Amino acid sequence: MSELNVNRRRLLAAGGTALTISVAGCLGGGGGDDDGGNGGDNGSDNGGEMSPEETADSYLNDNNANNYGGTGDIVDETGTDSLTIEVGPGGNFQFNPAAVRVDSGTTVTWEWLSGGHSVEQTDSDLDFDGSSIQNEGATHEETLESSGVLLYQCGPHATQGHHGAIIIE
């Protein structure tokens, strides 16, 4: 047999084995009445509503937010009167911090550290004006009076993960 035929047969055999294993994993040996759950119950039954942390985490994860790695990255700024969020630090498509917790009545200032970014509210119904596209050195200030979760993005760079969230208590 030629070397080409031997390599072809090895490739086909390896592919067939991989396919068999992956199909077997999908069909699984579940048996019984498994409903697909993990059997755990975290004890929270809030009627299907997410907590503010879950809302922010879900939004940021669903949009692959830059500068966010999970609920451990939610910066706690409760107890402060004002906060500055950097827009596009280092020319990156991110907010710093990407997720923050503040008290109602906190004044938040977005400061542009690079140009071509905006701050636009997305999936929340809080009163928020936001800002159109601005350049480096610009600022936008808002006092957040209502409790809830403010979800926002940079319009021009939303598809590149430029998203943020503020939990207002």
pLDDT in tens, 49-98: 899 999 999 999 999 999 999 999 999 999 999 999 999 999 999 999 99
CA distance 60 to 165: 7
Tell me the fold of 52-168: Immunoglobulin-like (2.60.40)
Closest C-alpha among 121, 107, 66 to residue 90: 66
| Residue 126's pLDDT band (cuts 50, 70, 90) | confident
Domain boundaries, the chain: 52-168
Sheet containing 117-121, strands listed edge to edge, beginning at the edge strand earlier in sequence: 75-76, 99-102, 163-168, 148-153, 117-121, 131-134
pTM for the full predicted model: 0.71
CA atoms in the 13 A half-sphere facing the CB of 72: 1
CA distance 110 to 87: 6
Tell me if 86 sits within 8 A of 150, measured CB to CB.
no
154 CB neighbour count, 10 Å cutoff: 24
CA distance 140 to 142: 7
Task: List pLDDT tens digits, range 1-56.
Answer: 544 444 444 444 444 444 333 434 444 444 444 444 433 344 444 567 899 999 99
